[in-house]
Structure 1
Amino acid sequence: MAELPENPHLVDLIDEDGNTVTFEHLDTVQYKGKDYVICIPYDDDEEVVTEVVIFLINKDKEDDCLEQVENPEILSAVYEIFKERNGEMFDFED
């Protein structure tokens, strides 16, 4: 794997198959008492972001872990909070 540029927002995550995937952390928001991390897959060559990934911070285990959110209602609510908080930083297309 190529060395990543210095960016404090880049994080390497290990998927269920043991592969390392790099994401850029955009924000962490709370929804109904739980913390959610909003990320984009990191691609140094990509100019337009087309995918946002939302993870739940699961604190029920010995170590905190991130679980990808798949529930459409939670995805929508968390993304709306993210858009409200970051409307001036990003151009959102609805």
Structure 2
Amino acid sequence: MEPNIITLTDQYGESVRFELLDIVEYEDQEFAVLYPADGGDDEPVHILRITSENLDLDEMEFEGLDDEDLINAVFDLFCERNDFE
């Protein structure tokens, strides 16, 4: 199975490739769990809120998160859904 690779633009205007590991719904919102596609094994996952989605155009918009409790809750749910401990 080929991974879902998406390209995002960072705050410096640089394109960064990520593997979309999962989309997790939490408290009536959707969050993308991403892993750097070109990173090593010690790279952290990134969790972004999906702010808009247009499936016809295959486009999504994301928002970064500052709330550590929210990040941890979404990550815990991701781990539970995917049998990670």
Is the shorter-chain TM-score for this pair beyond 0.5, marking a shared fold?
yes
TM-score when scaled to structure 1? 0.73
Partner of residue 83, structure 1: 79
- Provide the identity percentage: 31
Letter in 1 for 2:68: P
Stretches of structure 1 that go unaligned for 5 or more consecutive residues are: 1-6
| TM-score normalised by structure 2 residue count | 0.80
Structure 1 residue 58 corresponds to structure 2 residue 51: yes
**What residue ranges of structure 2 are gaps of 5+ in the alignment?**
53-58
| Greater Rg over alpha carbons, structure | 1
Larger strand fraction of residues = 2
Let me know the Cα RMSD of the aligned residues. 1.8
Match of 1:40 in 2: 35
Q: How far, CA to CA, are the matches of 1:42 and 1:72 in structure 2?
A: 23
Instruction: Deviation per CA, 1:13-33: give whole Å up to 9, x if none.
Output: 011221100000000011110
**Paired residue total:** 78
